[in-house]
Amino acid sequence: MRYLPLSPDDRSVMLKKIGVPDMDALFRDVPRSAVVPLSAFDLPDTQGELEVDRALSRLAAKNVAAGAGPFFCGAGAYKHHVPSTVDHLIQRSEFLTSYTPYQPEIAQGTLQYLFEFQTQVALLTGMEVANASLYDGSTATAEAVMMAQRLTRRGKAILSGGLHPHYAETVETVAGLTGAIVRAPVTPGSAEDIIALIDDDTACVVVQSPDVFGPIRNLRPIAEAAHAKGALLIAVVTEVVSLGLLESPGAQGADIVAAEGQSIGNGLNFGGPYVGLFATREKFLRQMPGRLTGETSDVEGRRGYVLTLSTREQHIRREKATSNICTNSGLCTLAFTIHLSLLGEEGFTRLARINHAKASALADRLGAIAGVELVTPAFFNEFTIRLPKAAAPLVDALAKKGVIAGVPASRLMPHEKIADNLLIVAATETATDDDFAAFERALKEVL
């Protein structure tokens, strides 16, 4: 094949050089239970480009687009209206084709919007400094845990039971090799006693607010308890629009904030690319991953921008690096900055109020249906309901009626029996009264 240019002899030489007997030895760390033989897949014979295009088009036609009807999925990825101005601007060639600013002195435009982005993130999170973005919210959370481990020289990280399970799994995968990861129990609709788990070996406590089930968490007592033991509080935000209404994590005592910025400027995009927000206290600056853009003046007194901090392995000695993040989500960052600039502070707050009002109205309607219980006492734009039947098959039934009803909690946490009947529902400014009526009517029918 033209896509596999190496001959068997070439591969043999490479394997010998590496010091392994065969290709399978390269994957020896993968559990055998996770290895599926090629014969297990029912794949068609070789086809031409036209046939493949038709086959894939038929498969794609089975999908239901988020904008095709009532849509109430959230759980870390939210459907918001993105002004057409955003896409128009980021598709300008000087933005679309630019890459990471290896030569800062000739990348002034890129550095300027990264500087503006950092300023916006610092204001939203209530922190003193923010970096020039990470990949997404989950990897930002893992980076925050490793940063806390370096700062405290401790290994233990306590994860709230309300932390998004995908974020928790990412932390375990990325930061699990540098310390012990302890998950608090899952308590849908209420706060677990995470303070009782903090001890003298704790590096950090990771708490999401609003959490994966929707409840808003009071971070102050957790921050005080963590600080009393010499630990740090990492606040996680998956729905950044909530910061338009809720008190910032920084004001509540958080030491590091890791967030997902997808809601502003970025569509659902089939799950990515997204943009990770990362902010911290200035005193922790030296251990912050990624890059920091700063403002300066040149010899003629003109304003300019520089890479103030680049603590990654491509810029400094590998053993001194704080992260192996190899790029930033530059285009997604720009989209975030443009959208937030268009909204302004007043517009952002208004958007948050609309989101909360929409979710409150939907929660009232669904909670009034016989057999449906509202689990979440206080929320922003996402809440959880308990159904009289398993949520997953009900979601499938609702989809057949044209309503994408939300995310079954069992899909996120399949090993938690308590999650079987729980449905996580999000309502943003894109939802209408007709959508609410369709959801209410369809849910009554399937129940």
Does 372 lie in the same domain as 243?
no
Residue 294 lies in a domain: yes
pLDDT at residue 317 in the model: 63
- Cβ atoms < 10 Å from Cβ of 309: 20
**Other Cβ atoms closer than 10 A to 15:** 15
pLDDT of residue 313: 54
Residue 48 inside a domain? The answer is no
pLDDT above 70 for 405? yes
pLDDT at 314 over 60: no
Of 285, 309, 339, which closes a domain?
339
pLDDT of residue 328: 64
CATH number at residue 91: 3.40.640.10
Instruction: Specify the pLDDT at position 326.
Output: 61
Does a structural domain hold residue 311? yes
What is the predicted pLDDT for the residue at 97?
82
Q: What is the CATH number of the domain that holds 433?
A: 3.90.1150.10
107 and 161 belong to one structural domain = yes
The region of weakest confidence among 146-150, 195-199, 297-301 is: 297-301
In a domain, 248, yes or no: yes
Comparing 31-45, 191-205, 332-346, the range with the smallest average pLDDT is 31-45
pLDDT at residue 351, rounded to an integer: 98
Do 301 and 389 lie in one domain? The reply is no
Q: What percent of the chain has pLDDT over 90?
A: 78
Which of the four pLDDT bands, split at 50, 70 and 90, describes residue 432?
Answer: very high
Domain identity same for 74 and 115: no
Pair (140, 230) in one structural domain: yes
Question: Which range among 144-158, 284-298, 339-353 shows the weakest confidence by mean pLDDT?
Answer: 284-298
pLDDT digits (tens, 9 = 90+) for 166-175: 999 999 999 9
pLDDT of residue 311: 61
- Overall average pLDDT of the 16-36 stretch: 91
Is residue 83 scored above 90 in pLDDT?
yes
Choosing from 297, 317, 339, the residue where a domain stops is: 339
Q: Are residues 399 and 419 in the same domain?
A: yes
> In this structure, is residue 60 part of a structural domain?
no
Q: Are residue 126 and residue 182 in the same domain, yes or no?
A: yes
Q: Is residue 59, in this structure, part of any structural domain at all?
A: no
Average pLDDT for residues 267-289, to the nearest whole number?
A: 94
**Do 418 and 306 have their domain in common?**
no
> How far apart are alpha carbons 176 and 180 in whole angstroms?
6
385 and 331 part of one domain: no
pLDDT at 72 over 90: yes
Range of the domain at 410: 68-81+345-446
Same domain as 98, residue 223: yes
For residue 1, pLDDT beyond 80: no
Q: Could you give the number of structural domains in the chain?
A: 2
Q: Residues 323, 377: one domain?
A: no
In a domain, residue 77? The reply is: yes
Mean pLDDT within 377-404:
96
- Report, as an integer, the average pLDDT of 201-226: 98
pLDDT at 87: 95
* Res 121: pLDDT: 98
Residue 279 lies in a domain: yes
**127 plus 226 within the same structural domain:** yes
Q: Which of 309, 339, 369 is the last residue of a domain?
A: 339
